[in-house]
Chains A and B, each alone.
Chain A
Amino acid sequence: MLLTPAAILLIAFTYYPAVATLGQSFFSAGTALKPSVFVGVENYSFMLDDEVFWQVLKNNLWYAVGTIPASIAIALLMAVWVNGKLPLRGFIRMSYFTPTVLPMIAVANIWLFFYTPQIGLIDQVAGVLGLTTYNWLGDPDTVLTCIIVMTIWKEAGFFMIFYLAALQSLPPELEEAAKLEGAGRWYYFRRVVFPLLMPTTLFVLINAIINSFKLVDQLFILTKGGPDNASSLLLYYIYEVAFSFFDQAYASTLTVVLLVSLAVIAIGQFVFLDKRIHYR
């Protein structure tokens, strides 16, 4: 009974759209002149033939591989560092967290001017060092890496906060005990701290994976998916199909694929990783 308000909201804004999307993916895109009709799996077979779909899927996988491990590793490193006794600790923590607070669109605008050839920060520094300028965002071989680097910079600070909180909840006796036993700092980290952080790591990992499919704001500013789809990601492609091509049906199809793959990943993580994690 007390759950009703929450349930209504969940059904109205989460389950109903998901089910409606699934339904829509079996219909053709309708217009005023041609109402939509049931077409079975035609949208799905079109998707399998769609070169752009495979390209953005491949990009998205590389994007995930590029951002997830790196941002988690950097987050952990930063957290361990700022957890120690440092001068200006609060200031350093804040500066690591700043990228997270900034809106993605603002960040992308800043980075656009980092990457811009000649007048960009990177090229100006390179110019001082006598290196040649480079068209970072204009080259399909480098553009995705540029996006990945920016995303890591944006995300690492966010994950750091979780690690920092977890580190501070570790009882100090553990470190003293380890010291008494003669364990080195690396050994202590590897055998004591890291296993105790596993629940946090799982949480961060799930967030990172979801974000790697969810964060596409920067593309609107930086590249619009170009050149020639070299930096386009799945969700950005869905946006293009839905709001630039006005093909709601095909957009629904792509959304279903995105939802299913995210669900599979999440379930897989819980099933496989859960066994290896110590909860206290």
Chain B
Amino acid sequence: MFRKLKTLIGGAALALGLSMNAPGAGAVELTMYYPVAVGGPLTKIVDGLVADFMKANPGIKVNAIYAGNYNDARIKALAALKSGKPAQLSVMFSIDIYELIEQGAIVAFDDIVETPEEKAWLKKFYPSLMENGMTQGKVWGIPFQRSTIVMYYNKDAFRDAGLDPAKAPATWDELVSMGKKLVKKSGGQTVRWGAMIPSTGYPYWMFGALTKQNGQVLMNADGNKTFFDAPATVEALQFWRDLGNKHGVMPSGTIEWGTLRKNFLEGKTAIMWHSTGNLTVVKNKAKFDFGVAMLPAKKSRGTPTGGGNFYIFKKSSPAERKAAMKLIRFLTEPGRTAEWSMKTGYIGTRPDAYQTEALKKYVAGFPPAAVARDQLKFATAELSTYQTGRVRKLLDDAIQAALVGKKSPQDALGSAQKQADRLLKRYR
């Protein structure tokens, strides 16, 4: 009797064990968080790409989890890490790199790549896109959903103001002079502004463009020193403020990031500076003839890069890391990068993506798509340091304080620099 029971239990246990093991033999399961920061059906596109990957690699199961905006994605990934059920890889803000390193959360790609072919792969991307992913001489992040700032302009408004619609302002002076012509008033009311540069949400990002154009970067490559009070930085902020307060090209006060696209689409501003991530939406929704141009120059052209990188987490087995590498390489293949870029407006992250038939054809038919790529020559890293959240907020507050006229650019940036120094001292 007992024996019978024993065999029965044993058999059941065996069967259970088998049934649990069978599909798991050799299979790797990956969890990946990814954020969406711009409009458009991005989640569907990502899900499609991941499904393609699983079809091509039956041994790997990928759970791609949409995790809100960049901030949410970081919080969720780090929370998962602490809870002991971490993701193996994630797309997160490229500027989170120092934070993630300090938390001991990620591994460098240099420590994972094995074959010479994989090592060569690390060099396949645009160098200016790699800037935010590299520190301490190693690569920590692989560019994925990356953008820059470009200038969208309403060609109909240009015609209306008697300007050449093929020629967008190429310098700060032209931005002022053409902007003044583009301002349209009716009965003391401004019905159309010359230009708008958003100053909520990500003011430091727009400011990174203005400073780069004035020949100044905002921080060093080790992420432990900022240059907020450099004369060229102050001059850039003065110019931004003058656009609103002195030249009347832009509304004074702060300009909302979230509603700016609608302002542009409704013709309330002739020019807007915005992420390339908006390109596809603007293309689909604009009822007027619009153009896309590089940002204007003072000393040179310039823009920060932006957006999300792939990171691989330290808490992962060698097999998982290998599978994660496979997934990242799959998603950044030239053909898929081209597809991703066409569907979203994000930059193709590597030069050979622009050599693919599909993207070549797309760029030929829709030249604005190439503007962001060509601008990469002048691009610099997005503001990113140790204690990056705090340091960024110091700069954001300083910019807004100056734009609303609460402080002079000199005072605002001076005190931001002083406080940033205090935070970063212990990392030098």
Q: Contacting B259 at CB < 8 Å: which of A52, A116, A140, A230?
A: A116
Beta-carbon contact of B404 and A119 below 8 Å: no
Cβ-based interface call for A121 (8 A): no
Q: What is the interface residue range for chain B against chain A?
A: 35 or more
Does the CB pair A244–B401 fall under 8 Å?
no
Answer yes or no: B99 CB below 8 A from chain A CBs: yes
User: Does B360 sit at the interface, judged by CB under 8 A?
Assistant: no
Nearest CB on A from B305, distance (A): 21
Closest beta carbon of chain B to A113's beta carbon, Å = 7
Quick one: closest B residue to A138, CB to CB?
A: B253
Please judge, given known A-B contacts A112-B258, A244-B71, whether A139 and B253 are in contact too, CB under 8 Å: yes
Shortest B413–chain A CB gap in Å is 13
Do A116 and B389 touch (CB < 8 A)?
A: no
In the assembled complex, B377 has its CB within 8 A of some CB on chain A: no
Binds B, one of A76-84, A126-134, A149-157, A271-279: A126-134
**Roughly how many angstroms separate A130 CA and B71 CA in the complex, as a whole number?**
42
Stretch at the interface among B155-163, B296-304, B328-336, B390-398: B390-398
Whether B103 contacts A223 by the Cβ 8 Å rule is no
Tell me if B262 counts as interface (CB < 8 A to partner A).
Answer: yes
A-binding segment of B8-16, B112-120, B186-194, B345-353:
B186-194
**Contact of A140 with B389 at beta-carbon distance under 8 Å, contacts A119-B263, A135-B253 already known:** no
List chain B positions with a Cβ less than 8 A from chain A. 71, 75, 78, 99, 102-105, 187-191, 199-201, 251-256, 258-259, 262-263, 266, 268, 387, 389-390, 393, 396-398, 400-401, 403-404, 406
Q: Please, how many angstroms separate the alpha-carbon atoms of A118 and B268 in the complex?
A: 7
Q: Kindly provide the distance from the CB of B328 to the nearest chain A CB, expressed in whole angstroms.
A: 23
Distance, CA A140 to CA B405, complexed state (A): 10
How far apart sit A118 and B193, CA to CA, in the bound complex (Å)? 10
CA distance A61 to B258 in the complex (A): 28
Is A227 interfacial (CB 8 A cutoff)?
Answer: yes
A226 and B200 contacting across the interface, CB-CB below 8 Å: yes
Instruction: Give the residue name and chain of the B residue nearest to A109 (CB).
Output: B258
Give Cα A223–Cα B396 distance, bound, in whole angstroms. 13
Residues of A within 8 A of B387 (CB): 245
**A116-B403 contact given A33-B104, A130-B187, CB 8 Å threshold:** no
Query: Are the C-beta atoms of B251 and A223 separated by less than 8 Å?
Result: no
Question: What are 26 A-to-B residue pairs whose CB atoms are below 8 Å?
Answer: A32-B105, A112-B258, A113-B259, A116-B256, A116-B262, A116-B263, A118-B190, A118-B268, A130-B187, A132-B188, A135-B252, A135-B255, A137-B256, A138-B253, A138-B254, A139-B253, A140-B404, A221-B258, A226-B396, A227-B254, A227-B401, A228-B400, A240-B389, A245-B389, A246-B78, A246-B389
When distances are taken between beta carbons in the complex, the residues of chain A under 8 Å from B75 are 243
Which size class do A's interface residues fall under?
Answer: 20 to 34
A4 contacts partner chain B, Cβ-Cβ < 8 Å: no
Residues of A contacting B102 with CB < 8 Å? Answer: 31-33
Q: CA–CA, A120 to B260, complex, Å?
A: 12
Q: Are the CB atoms of A229 and B254 closer together than 8 Å? A: no
| Total number of residue pairs linking A and B with CB closer than 8 Å | 98
- Which residues of A come within 8 Å of B, CB atoms? 31-33, 52, 112-113, 116-120, 127, 130, 132-133, 135, 137-140, 221, 223-224, 226-230, 240, 243-247
Give the residues in chain B near A117, CB-CB below 8 Å.
Answer: 251
A140, B406: Cβ atoms closer than 8 Å: yes
Q: Of residues B189, B262, B387, which shows the largest number of chain A Cβ atoms within 10 Å of its Cβ?
A: B189
Residues of B within 8 Å of A31, CB to CB, are 102-104
Q: Are A229 and B397 in contact (CB under 8 A)?
A: yes
**Shortest Cβ gap from A73 to chain B (Å):** 31
A137 to B400, CA, bound (A): 12
Q: Which of A32, A130, A138, A223 contacts B255 (CB 8 A)?
A: A138
The interface residues of chain A lying within 8 Å CB-to-CB of B397 are 52, 226, 228-229
Residues B188 and A227 in contact, CB atoms below 8 Å apart: no
Given contacts A32-B104, A245-B389, contact A132 B189 (CB under 8 A): yes
For the complex, what is the distance from the CA of A140 to the CA of B406, rounded to whole Å? 9
- Given known pairs A116-B256, A226-B396, the reply for A133 and B190 (CB within 8 Å) is yes
In whole angstroms, what is the CA distance A239 to B393 when docked?
13
Give Cα A173–Cα B398 distance, bound, in whole angstroms: 64
A224 B406 Cβ-Cβ under 8 A: no
List chain B residues, Cβ under 8 A from A33: 102, 104
**A127, A135, A140, A243: the one within 8 Å of B71 (CB):** A243
Residues of chain A lying within 8 A (CB to CB) of residue B256: 112, 116, 137-138
The 8 closest A-B pairs by CB, nearest first: A32-B104, A138-B253, A227-B400, A138-B254, A244-B389, A228-B401, A245-B389, A135-B253
Point out which of B99, B259, B401 has the most chain A C-beta atoms below 10 A from its C-beta: B259
The reply to whether A118 and B401 contact each other, CB–CB distance below 8 Å, is no
Q: How far, in angstroms, from A140 to B200 measured CA to CA in the complex?
A: 13
- A245-B390 contact in complex given A118-B263, A119-B259, A140-B406, C-beta closer than 8 Å: yes
- CB-defined contacts of B187 to chain A, threshold 8 Å: 130
Chain A residues positioned under 8 Å from B262 (CB to CB): 113, 116, 119
Min CB–CB distance A172 → chain B (angstroms): 51
Nearest-neighbor residue (CB-CB) of A247 within chain B: B390
CB-CB < 8 A to B389: which residues of A? Answer: 240, 244-246
**With a CB–CB cut-off of 8 A, which chain B residues contact A120?**
259
Interfacial chain B residues near A230, Cβ < 8 Å: 404
The distance in angstroms between the C-alpha atoms of A139 and B252, with both chains bound, is: 9
Compute how far the CA of A240 lies from the CA of B255 in the bound complex, rounded to whole angstroms: 21
Question: Considering the chains assembled together, what is the distance between the CA atoms of A31 and B78 in angstroms?
Answer: 12
Apart from the given pairs A130-B187, A247-B390, 8 other A-B contacts in the complex at a CB distance below 8 Å: A33-B104, A118-B268, A137-B254, A138-B254, A139-B404, A140-B406, A227-B200, A245-B390
